[in-house]
């Protein structure tokens, strides 16, 4: 039973929230005020009324090691006592150690640039790509190509790269020079061709865009290894290999956005490691600290970095941010990676993800489930009104399922693009540390 004191405390918090906080991407909805969360432990969070929920989205696809890790709090605490801050114009041991560790995870060819968020990391990648080409004498290479349905962040450059019109159209015009191509959506491919051919066609569309736009004007392609927030679109491996080959052939840099896919989310350290490619730039955030503190990284191939060292005063990268590489965030990130290694969370993500998918397999027989797909601890359930026409399920149907899950103690997500009509994919992205019981509970 919930105490009246607690309930009145909660309604007080809710009304204070209503008067003070402008929430992220939430429609103002009096009937459904945002949940006030009080505690988190493992995969579970507790609201201010004492209700427990399994957080099937680990926040925003980010609390990879689960909630309530005292070691992480201690790592930050000890570091703050010793040295709370140093700008990245200087250096400090946690930043150096973390750079070495991440580089080792990427197979040792990269330099590490610190920022605060996934959006920041992508902005840095765009600026580096443009400057790199300019310094190499290819002054016209300024355009970026990304995919429709992908999300790359909310700042103006990252939003320009984003391929979801619902997030963009109220803020246009955005930054010039961002182009989009279709992603492989294997569920919706024409029946007449194989998955492999269809994926090759998508890569060909990218290559045609590079050629038609004049390849000398293209700076980079940015893509997630698996489109996550755009509806869990898992490419055929041939697509990713082909995209890399096309980029190399046309002198275009390949930026891989690992903001969600990194740090075990897909069952490997980094999502692109499923495909055997070697990106020019890798961006990462979320799972890097399991979101306990803000930190992001733009990892850049060393030979690209070398071109910024020409010696004159104009060739360095003129970018700074106050908080990037914060010592406490770096110390915490190191501990976070140590936990992942100790508890085999990369492997566990793959195993638990498989169990989750297998356990959900019966859903495929449900009249509204058009497709079930997943990789590591990412699951997408594509809902349709009709399995033959694949008409996306209605907004109301998704809202009802999400609310029913919540009433039964499970938080799930919903992704896609309302404007494009594909906002019909339910998502799960629970902590990688979820126990067998947690997986059973979600099923």
Instruction: Tell me whether residue 116 or residue 369 sits nearer to ligand PLP (CB atom).
Output: 116
Instruction: Tell me whether residue 207 or residue 417 sits nearer to ligand PLP (CB atom).
Output: 417
Phi, psi (deg, nearest 5) at residue 378: -135, 125
Tell me the site size for ligand PLP, rule CB under 6 A: 15
Least Cβ distance, residue 187 to ligand PLP (angstroms): 20
Query: How far apart are alpha carbons 435 and 215 in whole angstroms?
Result: 49
Choice from 123, 207, 224, 382 touching ligand PLP (CB under 6 A):
224
Contact between 152 and ligand PLP per CB under 6 A: yes
Interhelix angle 327-342/93-105, rounded to 10 degrees, is 40
Contact between 44 and ligand PLP per CB under 6 A: no
Instruction: Tell me whether residue 160 or residue 368 sits nearer to ligand PLP (CB atom).
Output: 160
Choice from 40, 153, 325, 413 touching ligand PLP (CB under 6 A):
153
Locate the DSSP E strands across 35-101.
37-41, 44-47, 52-55
Helix locations, 231-368, DSSP H: 237-249, 302-306, 327-342, 345-359
Contact between 40 and ligand PLP per CB under 6 A: no
Contact between 285 and ligand PLP per CB under 6 A: yes
Contact between 207 and ligand PLP per CB under 6 A: no
Least Cβ distance, residue 192 to ligand PLP (angstroms): 32
Q: Which stretch binds ligand PLP (CB under 6 A): 172-180, 255-263, 341-349, 394-402?
A: 255-263
Least Cβ distance, residue 217 to ligand PLP (angstroms): 24
Instruction: Tell me whether residue 262 or residue 370 sits nearer to ligand PLP (CB atom).
Output: 262
Which residue has tokens 């961002």?
178
Q: Which stretch binds ligand PLP (CB under 6 A): 131-139, 254-262, 379-387, 397-405?
A: 254-262
Bridge partners, residue 216, by sequence = none
DSSP 3-state of 300: strand
Instruction: Tell me whether residue 271 or residue 370 sits nearer to ligand PLP (CB atom).
Output: 271
Which residue has tokens 């055997």?
276
Closest among 304, 258, 267, 297 to 103, alpha carbons compared: 297
Contact between 45 and ligand PLP per CB under 6 A: no
Query: How far apart are alpha carbons 134 and 113 in whole angstroms?
Result: 20
Instruction: Tell me whether residue 164 or residue 424 sits nearer to ligand PLP (CB atom).
Output: 164
**What is the total residue count of the chain?**
443
Sheet containing strand 143-147, edge to edge, reads: 110-115, 296-301, 281-284, 253-257, 218-223, 143-147, 178-181
Choice from 125, 145, 219, 259 touching ligand PLP (CB under 6 A):
259
Closest among 268, 340, 329 to 106, alpha carbons compared: 268
DSSP designation for 256: E
- Of all residues in the shown chain, the one whose CB is closest to ligand PLP is 118
Locate the DSSP E strands across 126-271.
143-147, 178-181, 218-223, 253-257
Cα 232 from chain centroid (whole Å): 11
Contact between 229 and ligand PLP per CB under 6 A: yes
Choice from 40, 42, 118, 325 touching ligand PLP (CB under 6 A):
118
Contact between 162 and ligand PLP per CB under 6 A: no
Q: Which stretch binds ligand PLP (CB under 6 A): 247-255, 256-264, 302-310, 327-335?
A: 256-264
- Tell me the CA end-to-end span of the chain in Å, nearest whole number: 27
Query: How far apart are alpha carbons 377 and 351 in whole angstroms?
Result: 9
Q: Which two tokens stand for residue 273?
A: 């490691």
Using a 10 angstrom Cβ sphere, with 0-12 exposed, 13-18 middle and 19 or more buried, the burial of residue 361 is exposed
Binding mask 121-150 for ligand PLP (x = CB under 6 A): -x----------------------------
Contact between 234 and ligand PLP per CB under 6 A: no
Q: Which stretch binds ligand PLP (CB under 6 A): 7-15, 116-124, 184-192, 316-324?
A: 116-124
Binding site for ligand PLP (CB under 6 A): 60, 117-119, 122, 151-153, 224, 228-229, 257, 259-260, 285
């Amino acid at each position: 039973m919930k105490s009246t004191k607690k309930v009145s405390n909660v309604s007080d918090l809710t009304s204070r929230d209503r008067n003070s906080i402008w929430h992220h991407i939430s429609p103002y909805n009096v009937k459904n005020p945002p949940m006030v969360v009080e505690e988190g432990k493992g995969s579970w969070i507790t609201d201010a009324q004492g209700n427990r929920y399994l957080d099937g989205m680990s926040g925003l696809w980010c609390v990879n090691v689960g909630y309530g890790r005292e070691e992480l709090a201690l790592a930050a605490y000890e570091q703050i006592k010793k040295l709370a801050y140093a700008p990245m114009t200087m250096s400090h041991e946690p930043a150096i150690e973390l750079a070495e560790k991440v580089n080792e995870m990427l197979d040792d060819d990269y330099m590490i640039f610190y920022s605060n968020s996934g959006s920041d990391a992508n902005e840095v990648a765009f600026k580096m790509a443009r400057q790199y080409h300019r310094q190499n004498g290819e002054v016209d290479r300024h355009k970026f190509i990304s995919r429709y349905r992908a999300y790359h962040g909310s700042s103006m450059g990252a939003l320009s790269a984003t391929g979801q019109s619902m997030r963009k159209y109220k803020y246009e015009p955005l930054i010039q020079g961002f182009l989009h191509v279709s992603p492989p959506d294997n569920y919706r491919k024409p029946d007449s061709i194989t998955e492999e051919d269809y994926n090759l066609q998508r890569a060909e569309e990218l290559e045609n865009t590079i050629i038609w736009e004049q390849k000398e004007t293209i700076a980079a392609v940015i893509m997630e290894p698996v489109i996550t927030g755009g509806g869990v679109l898992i490419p055929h491996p041939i697509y990713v290999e082909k995209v890399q080959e096309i980029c190399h052939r046309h002198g275009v840099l390949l930026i891989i956005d690992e903001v969600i896919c990194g740090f075990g989310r897909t069952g490997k350290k980094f999502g692109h490691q499923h495909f055997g490619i070697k990106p020019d730039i890798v961006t990462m955030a979320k799972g890097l600290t399991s979101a306990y503190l803000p930190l992001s990284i733009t990892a850049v191939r060393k030979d690209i970095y070398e071109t910024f060292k020409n010696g004159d005063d104009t060739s360095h990268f003129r970018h700074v941010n106050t908080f990037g590489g914060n010592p406490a965030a770096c110390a915490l990130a190191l501990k976070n990676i140590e936990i992942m290694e100790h508890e085999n969370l990369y492997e566990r993500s793959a195993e638990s993800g498989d169990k989750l998918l297998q356990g959900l397999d019966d859903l495929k027989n449900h009249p509204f489930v058009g497709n079930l797909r997943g990789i590591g601890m990412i699951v997408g359930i594509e809902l349709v009104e009709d399995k033959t026409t694949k008409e996306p399920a209605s907004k109301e149907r998704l809202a009802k399922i999400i609310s029913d899950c919540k009433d039964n103690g499970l938080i799930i997500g919903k992704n896609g693009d309302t404007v494009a009509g594909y906002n019909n994919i339910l998502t799960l992205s629970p902590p990688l540390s979820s126990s067998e019981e947690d997986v059973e509970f979600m099923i």
